[in-house]
Structure 1
Amino acid sequence: MDKLLERLEGAGYRDGAAMFGAPYDFRYAVAPAGHPSRIGTEFFRSLKSLVERASQLNGDRPAIIVTHSYGGTLAHQFLIRQPLAWRRRFVRHFIPIAAPWGGLVLGMQALRKEYRSLQSSLWPLPSAKVFGAGQPLVSTKHRNYSASDVVGFLRDIGFGEGVGPYESRVLPLFEELPVCPRVPVTCVVGVGVPTPERMVYPRDDFEGTPGVDVGDGDGLVNLASLVAVEPEWRRGGPYFRMVKVASVNHAAILVDDRALGIVIREIQRAN
């Protein structure tokens, strides 16, 4: 995020005075109510204190929260767990960049690799609310897997130990579309980049490189996931914008001059 930080510094923000970072270790995952998550709980506690401290250092003005990718879903979980009065007092604007609100098709491909050792590896699995219950996302010679067949998919790729955490810790957070955080929001997303919508394996053992059917998105996150929250959040929030940047991919959106100009403009507009 170096280039974004440089642009913010050029706009007058100074690290540790009016600009603060809150990195998260995605080897760990926050959990729903009733499930222990020491790292997640500590992070949310620290983030709340940081937001309050940033406000205090800047004339008690509310903060602007800017995120990228799964930082957006993490920040959303943080926001909805705070009292509404706190959100209205301390959060002026939320700007998630390239957030995968409903998961992504490539999330199923990633689980075939060492990535499954991370607690957060199950977060990117596609949501049936976004991708539909019957749309094939992964196909083998004799079976199709949709977003509603994730449990069977996990077992068939030899990751049966992921079923319990998926059903108890992931579905309670992501089975439904994210609720409106009820703070002003501007989503910035890349579009117009070929993005995997279905992977087709020639056999049933998931070996080899699959064929890929592509659709719209940012090259990693499918368009349906990027814009999934728009209808509800536009109705239920105090302010909402969805800004689409053509032909910019998931990572380049942090260095593309057009995208950065939009992000800086939204920050300045909020201020």
Structure 2
Amino acid sequence: MTQLEVLITLCLVVVAILTQNSNCFFFEKKEPGPPVVIIPGDAGSMLDAKLNKPTSNDGCATIRDWFRLWLNVKEMLPSNVVCGVNNRKMVFEPATNTSSNSAGVQTRISGFGTAHSVEYIDDSWTAYLLGNIGAYAHALVEELLDNGYERDVSVRGAPYDFRIAMSSHRTYFQNLRELVENTYEKNDNKKVVLISHSMGGIFATWFLNLQSQEWKDRYIDSFIALSTPWGGSTDTLQAVTSGYTFGISFISPLVVRPEQRTIETNYLMLPNARVWSANKHFVLSDERSYTASRMDMNDMFRRIGVSTERYNYVRDANEQSGASGVMPPNPGVLTYCIYGDGLDTSDVLDFRGGNFPDSKPRIQTISGDGTVSYESLSACREWNLGDREIKVQSASHSGVLQDDKGIQEILKILLHNK
């Protein structure tokens, strides 16, 4: 036997011994905490589309088989942005209070129930080579796997069409209920933890308040709400006034604004008068200023030429007001509210001296997570959570989900009494 053959044999023997030794640290299987279902936030789900559109003059494809509509970094190139905007636009029918895709556009959500569906918003090689910019909850899922969790068994995703508000989802919440029950059964009848991010916390709270207390007591271990904009966000206000580009400098806000004005959830996530003072003005123009009140918002939309029908439907049909009048009713499960603070965050849009609403506003900032203000994030204090309200200093809106500081807070909760 040659020296190489001896070395290979010894290696095989060592591997066999280690594999059979369950006490060996290298092969030790960790015991996970309770199973997890992750509910993503706004723009946190992969959205596919198929086109069979009437002939158009915008130079975009009218016939196309299933492709990734969101997120697709290749479609973010300046030459492709208009096509993506037109394909994602929605049409609102006031007679039935329904939003639908533009004519000739079909959409579907990719991977419901899988971990992968929330690990990425763009899982293409292009996004990976650009610094893995399509990653979403991937870092959290990887940490869970390192702690004994298993993809699609004990960690799963519940993505949804983030363009439409809760009241317009006809099947999502039933599918979510069935996913929770299935996850419970797959994990030897262990109760499930719901982890939401951003707007997903609004959806999760809505879902939990739809369920009976008996159902929640049987299936839900706890609810971890990350970076939830309980009182709305100025960024969505910017989207429906002047347009919002997520800081991408080569995209014109006026190009994406027509799409953003058709998205129900942009109206859902506007600053909410229940949280803010009646004297708090969010939009300043040469003519007048606007608060978060329903009256002021309607006045503003009429001024900028946006129909008020979608806004009023979304606010009325998705109203969740608890005893305090500020927060939705307590979801009736053990709840944690985790958010970042200490970063400059958009607060007031100042259009004075410009062409309201088509000019770029000057942004007055306030402390928050870089996307949502502290006042909005911390409104969960109305639920009297005590030490289950957790502020992660200097953590960003996405960082609470993706960075080590935020992930460690989540792991403390999941693994503390496994």
Give the TM-score normalised by the residue count of structure 2: 0.59
CA contact (8 A) 1:128 1:175 kept: no
Give the Å deviation of 1:118.
1.9
Give yes or no for the alignment of 1:255 onto 2:402. Answer: yes
Give yes or no for the alignment of 1:187 onto 2:340. Answer: no
2 CA distance for matches of 1:107 and 1:174? Answer: 18
2 CA distance for matches of 1:187 and 1:227? Answer: 8
CA contact (8 A) 2:227 2:339 kept: yes
The 1:17–1:168 alpha-carbon spacing in structure 2 relative to 1, beyond 3 Å, is same
1:71-123 CA distance string (max 9 Å, x none): 11111111100111111111111001101111112221011313122222211
Higher share of residues assigned helix: 1
CA contact (8 A) 1:234 1:240 kept: no
Instruction: Pick one of 344, 363, 366 that aligns with 1:215.
Output: 366
Give yes or no for the alignment of 1:64 onto 2:193. Answer: yes
Which residue of the partner structure matches residue 34 of structure 1? none
Give the Å deviation of 1:270.
6.0
Moved more, 45-54 or 111-120: 111-120
For the residue of structure 2 that corresponds to 1:41, the secondary structure is coil
Give the Å deviation of 1:153.
1.6
CA contact (8 A) 2:164 2:264 kept: yes
Give yes or no for the alignment of 1:265 onto 2:412. Answer: yes
Give the Å deviation of 1:171.
3.5
* Structure 2 unpaired stretches of 5+: 1-136, 242-256, 322-326
Q: CA RMSD in A?
A: 1.7
1:212-256 CA distance string (max 9 Å, x none): 11111111111111011212x127xxx871111111111222222
Which residue of the partner structure matches residue 272 of structure 2? 127
The 1:190–1:174 alpha-carbon spacing in structure 2 relative to 1, beyond 3 Å, is farther
The 1:175–1:196 alpha-carbon spacing in structure 2 relative to 1, beyond 3 Å, is farther
Which residue of the partner structure matches residue 45 of structure 1? 174
CA contact (8 A) 2:158 2:176 kept: yes
Larger radius of gyration: 2
Which residue of the partner structure matches residue 315 of structure 2? 170
Give the Å deviation of 1:175.
6.6
Moved more, 151-160 or 72-81: 151-160
For the residue of structure 2 that corresponds to 1:229, the secondary structure is helix
What are the within-5 Å matches in structure 2 for residues 1-271 of structure 1?
1-31=137-167, 37=168, 40-112=169-241, 113=257, 114-148=259-293, 149-160=296-307, 163-174=308-319, 176=321, 177-201=327-351, 202-203=353-354, 205-231=356-382, 233-234=383-384, 241-269=388-416, 271=418
The 1:70–1:270 alpha-carbon spacing in structure 2 relative to 1, beyond 3 Å, is farther
Give the Å deviation of 1:166.
2.2
CA contact (8 A) 2:192 2:220 kept: yes
The amino acid of 1:252's aligned partner reads G
Q: What is the count of residue pairs matched by the alignment?
A: 258
CA contact (8 A) 2:338 2:392 kept: yes
Which structure ranks higher in relative contact order (CA pairs < 8 Å, sequence separation ≥ 6)?
Answer: 1
2 CA distance for matches of 1:175 and 1:46? Answer: 21
1 CA distance for matches of 2:354 and 2:409? Answer: 45
CA contact (8 A) 1:122 1:170 kept: yes
1 CA distance for matches of 2:328 and 2:417? Answer: 23
The amino acid of 1:180's aligned partner reads N
> Once superposed, which parts of structure 1, at least 4 consecutive aligned residues long, lie more than 3 Å away?
none
CA contact (8 A) 1:184 1:240 kept: no
